[in-house]
Amino acid sequence: RAAEPTSSSATALQVLQRIFGYDSFRGDQQEIVEHVIGGGDALVLMPTGGGKSLCYQIPALVRPGTGVVVSPLIALMQDQVDALNELGVRAGFLNSTQSYEQRRATEAAFRAGELDLLYLAPERLRLDSTTVLLDRGEVSLFAIDEAHCVAQWGHDFRPDYLALSVLHERWPAVPRIALTATATPATRQEIATRLELTGARHFVADFDRPNIQYRIVPKNDPRKQLLQLLRTEHAGDSGIVYRLSRSEVERTAEFLVNNGIPALPYHAGLDKEVRAAHQSRFLREDGLVMVATIAFGMGIDKPDVRFVAHLDLPKSVEGYYQETGRAGRDGLPSTAWMAYGLQDVVQQRKLIELSEGDEAHRRTQSRHLDAMLALCETVECRRVRLLAYFGQEATACGNCDTCLAPPKSWDGTVAAQKLLSTVVRLDRERNQKFGAGQIIDILRGKKTAKVAQFRHDALSVFGVGADLSDHEWRGVIRQLLAQRLLAVEGDYGTLVLTESSKEVLRRENPRQVLLRTDTARAGSPREKATK
């Protein structure tokens, strides 16, 4: 549906200035706001911190009726509504955390036309009572926040979002605006289709966050590496540290505190009160480090987060981008730092293999992981790779680790052949499979107890890889896994060949394997060994 011409600009600007206290619109905001005020549908892609909220809040204030906002961020609704009330905007919410009386009061206010904005949890729309309610009041627009949650094979799928197609069917005349910070061109298409937003205008913002410096380093001793980063570059700064497991969250927070850095844990296993208390301390206080699982961060608006550190590999580029995007919302220089190693690849592949869901789901997860690994292993500009993932072209940024210290690559074909043929021999001659540790010991010719036990020193490949260190071999394995020239299997992470491994092992014209040289850094096992 096309927007009707309106003279809404003056009104929209007045609302921006008088109610929200800002001088001017940012980026595409004005165009989006006018389009929606005019009754047009919109799909808005804007990075975290870009200012999506005003895109529906202002039209909701200008158009007659109540703007209905569907949001999965139930924990934040109270805060959002409080903040709006403070500005004099009449806002309310309906979700499962409320008492019956609170809900009744909000519903009555909506019916009486006394609300500018009504926030709804998506599961509410499955209830007949909600549809009946919405029919009894006047809806000015539907805003669908975090719209990527409708993408079935996206990284954040919520089944309740599928029910949102009812909005268009039941209230075809009400404009809809879907917003998200994370969407590849494919996900964008899926959002448009599933929400029946086919006629909507797309507003795609610049996804680049030039003030964020992206760095990905080999993982040796992640907690120590983190400590060094904080001490040398981010002393006294606020930041977020992401870990995969709850126990690592606890341990890492404790480690930082023991080393004199104020830190708090946050994960879904903590009591609701504890989580809320930690979150509000993080928002209020300066120089606090939040160590968290990905349960933390959606909707968090703290402008001066100076660093986001990942100590484990995220599952997808979309997740990584969203998490790192919480750094530097104020536009000042900030760091997105990640330590990543062989064990991350093994673990993530294993998680996918063991995950519930069908084959198609596993394939999607694998695709996400492959894209993430490609970003980790690239020798090109990180920003170029990252933006390309979101369908945006860019030139080398000069402000990421690969631009600042271009990594060298080396021809790892022979190393890969040695490694792959060790895996082949163990399998063919002994009918055995082993994990990375034992394979490396064989390659390096180490006479360990386990080597003696299995008589692996009798293999013809024993010691053929003595020219590389343990650390270097781990880098080789990690990269072969990333390039799918090697795979892991089962609970113990045993190494097995893939279809493509054969191309490397071919006698004639073997496939060339280009590997990235891992730069040794302070605290790496290699440096310690030579001291």
Instruction: Please pick, from the candidates 39, 40, 50, 465, the single residue that binds ligand ADP as defined by CB under 6 A.
Output: 50
CA distance 48 to 337: 18
**Assign residue 331 a region: left if phi > 0, alpha if psi is -120 to 50, beta otherwise?**
left
Nearer to ligand ADP, 320 or 340 (CB): 320
Site for ligand ADP in 15-44 (CB under 6 A): 22, 25-26, 29
CA distance 12 to 15: 5
The DSSP H or E segment spanning 501 is helix 501-505
391 interacts with ligand ADP by CB under 6 A: no
52 interacts with ligand ADP by CB under 6 A: yes
326 interacts with ligand ADP by CB under 6 A: no
Name the one range near ligand ADP by CB under 6 A: 46-54, 93-101, 248-256, 444-452: 46-54
Nearer to ligand ADP, 145 or 237 (CB): 145
> Helices marked H in 112-221 — which ranges?
128-136, 165-170, 185-194
206 interacts with ligand ADP by CB under 6 A: no
Contact residues for 71 (Cβ-Cβ < 8 A; gap 6+): 77, 119, 120, 121, 122, 145, 146
61 interacts with ligand ADP by CB under 6 A: no
* 3-state secondary structure string across 408-468: CEEECHHHHHHHHHHHHHHHHHHCCCCCHHHHHHHHHCCCCHHHHHCCHHHCCCCCCCCCC
Site for ligand ADP in 466-525 (CB under 6 A): none
**Beta partners for residue 264, in sequence order:** 290
Nearer to ligand ADP, 154 or 465 (CB): 154
Nearer to ligand ADP, 27 or 510 (CB): 27
51 interacts with ligand ADP by CB under 6 A: yes
Nearer to ligand ADP, 176 or 456 (CB): 176
* Contact assessment for residue 407 and residue 218, using Cβ atoms and an 8 Å cutoff: no
Nearer to ligand ADP, 87 or 360 (CB): 87
Q: Could you identify the residue written with the tokens 């913002």?
A: 205
Nearer to ligand ADP, 73 or 374 (CB): 73
CA-CA-CA-CA torsion for 469, 471, 474, 480, nearest 10 degrees? -80
CA distance 346 to 492: 9
User: E-assigned strands of 318-404?
Assistant: 334-340
- Using Cβ positions, the residue closest to ligand ADP within the complex turns out to be 51
Q: 355, 334, 238: which is closest to 291 by C-alpha?
A: 238
138 interacts with ligand ADP by CB under 6 A: no
410 interacts with ligand ADP by CB under 6 A: no
Nearer to ligand ADP, 134 or 290 (CB): 290
Least spacing, CB of residue 444 vs ligand ADP, in Å: 49
Least spacing, CB of residue 57 vs ligand ADP, in Å: 8
* Contact assessment for residue 110 and residue 133, using Cβ atoms and an 8 Å cutoff: yes
Least spacing, CB of residue 333 vs ligand ADP, in Å: 18
Least spacing, CB of residue 141 vs ligand ADP, in Å: 16
Least spacing, CB of residue 299 vs ligand ADP, in Å: 7
Least spacing, CB of residue 47 vs ligand ADP, in Å: 7
54 interacts with ligand ADP by CB under 6 A: yes
402 interacts with ligand ADP by CB under 6 A: no
| Sequence-separated contacts (24+) of 504-511 with Cβ below 8 Å | 504/413, 504/416, 504/417, 504/420, 505/417, 505/420, 505/421, 505/424, 510/413, 510/417, 511/413
Instruction: Please pick, from the candidates 33, 42, 45, 46, the single residue that binds ligand ADP as defined by CB under 6 A.
Output: 46
Least spacing, CB of residue 46 vs ligand ADP, in Å: 5
CA distance 28 to 51: 10
220 interacts with ligand ADP by CB under 6 A: no
Least spacing, CB of residue 48 vs ligand ADP, in Å: 4
Site for ligand ADP in 272-301 (CB under 6 A): 301
250 interacts with ligand ADP by CB under 6 A: no
Contact residues for 133 (Cβ-Cβ < 8 A; gap 6+): 107, 110, 111
* Contact assessment for residue 57 and residue 104, using Cβ atoms and an 8 Å cutoff: no
427 interacts with ligand ADP by CB under 6 A: no
> Helices marked H in 63-217 — which ranges?
74-86, 100-111, 128-136, 165-170, 185-194
Least spacing, CB of residue 225 vs ligand ADP, in Å: 29
209 interacts with ligand ADP by CB under 6 A: no
Both tokens of 15, joined, read 């609302």
Which residues make up the interface to ligand ADP (CB under 6 A)?
A: 22, 25-26, 29, 46, 48-54, 301
